[in-house]
Each structure stands twice: as C-alpha cells, then as structure tokens.
Amino acid sequence: MTTFKKIFDYNQSWVSDKLQIEADYFEKLGQGQEPEILYIGCSDSRVTIEELTGAGPGEMFVHRNIANLVNNVDLNVMAVINYAVVHLKVKHVVVCGHYNCGGVKAAMQSLDLGILNPWLRNIRDVYRTHSAELNSIEDETKRYDRLVELNVQEQCINLVKTAAVQQAMKGRGLEVHGWVFDVRTGKLIDLNLDIHAILKKIMEIYKLD
C-alpha cells in the first residue's frame, strides 16, 4: 500500500541523489526542455514508461490516456501532438500499448460502461476493421494480445492522418513507432511497423499538406 509519506520521503532522497551527482541538475532542468520523443501510452498504473526505459526528466514528452488512443476529436491528444511535433520538434513519436490492457478488454465485451462507451468505441472500430484476422484466432488470450497490437497500429495510422505529423515526416524525417509493453514479462516490444508504407497507402485519402 502506497502511503503519501513514502512518496514524499522518496522524493527527498531522489533530490539528494541527483544533487550529489550534479550540483546544478535542477538549475539546468529549470531552463527548459528539448525532448526527442513524444510518448503516447496507456494510463495503466503498471506501464511506468520512464522507469522501465530509464528515461530521465526532459527526455520524453508524455501523454497517457485509457488504451493509448489517438482520437482526432480529442483536443487533449491533438494539442499534445501539435505542441510536441510543431513546437518542440521531437524526432520520434511512439504509441505504446500493453498486453492485459483493461480498456482493450472492455471493448471486447458486451457491456454498457456509460461515459466509457464512446471512448472504447474507438477500439471496437479497430476490432471491426480487423475482424477477419481477429476472429480467426481461436485462443482468447492470443486474440486479445493481437487486438492490443492492432490498436497500436491503428493509433499510429491516426497519427499519420494529422497535418503536423505528415509535414514533419516529409520535411524533417520525423519517425513514428509502435510499441507494446508486456506486463507479464516486463519486456518492451517494437512492433517494427512500416510507417512509410502505411503513409503511402493512406495518402490518397488523408493527404493534408
């Protein structure tokens, strides 16, 4: 059980550790940020991306929501993408899903979840788009895992549908990556998505620049 005392005690020792290594660590941190990565991940408490990748303060611009969705009418994620890509000029955008994602699981069930319905419908749409492949997987865990991966892929496609990402990919070589974190093993998996092939395929319809 986490207590708030534990949190503040830890913070105090973290500050001392940092200062011991570099006396002006926080002075430098206060001067600004130049992260190279925009990370879009799930809000799930087990997917602590900085801890599991060793990314320190200033290295990643982070956005998290339920089931790592890039929804084109979500002003929050769209503002994050615009700010990170256009203003901070990050070099990479990562969408990271994770196995055993509660949001993805919920979208596989027939259940009225109130305000979560419109949010999870985005994942149901991913299922519908890929229903032939998903329905051919008999093992339920494997089907669930595959939906997690396909959801990451579709959110990467949603990224590429934005003008900011299209322009940065062409203009300065911005890269988009799809990852999955396996909470059962601790391993981070690169799905090695061919974003340029995806870009080419969807540009006929989604070209904005």
Catalytic residues: 42, 44, 46, 98, 101
The set of residues, in sequence order, having a beta carbon less than 8 Å from that of 122 and lying 6+ positions away, is: 67, 69, 71
Two structure tokens written together for 45: 């408490």
Return residues touching Co ion (CB under 5 A).
Answer: 42, 44, 101, 103
In terms of phi and psi (left: phi > 0; alpha: psi -120 to 50; beta: otherwise), the region of 139 is: beta
User: Three-state DSSP class for 63?
Assistant: strand
Closest CB 40 distance from Co ion, rounded Å: 12
E strands along the chain, which residues? Answer: 37-42, 60-65, 92-98, 175-181, 188-190
Closest CB 48 distance from Co ion, rounded Å: 13
Q: Rank residues 70 and 101 by Cβ distance to Co ion and give the closer one.
A: 101
Q: Rank residues 35 and 103 by Cβ distance to Co ion and give the closer one.
A: 103
Closest CB 39 distance from Co ion, rounded Å: 14
Q: Rank residues 18 and 105 by Cβ distance to Co ion and give the closer one.
A: 105
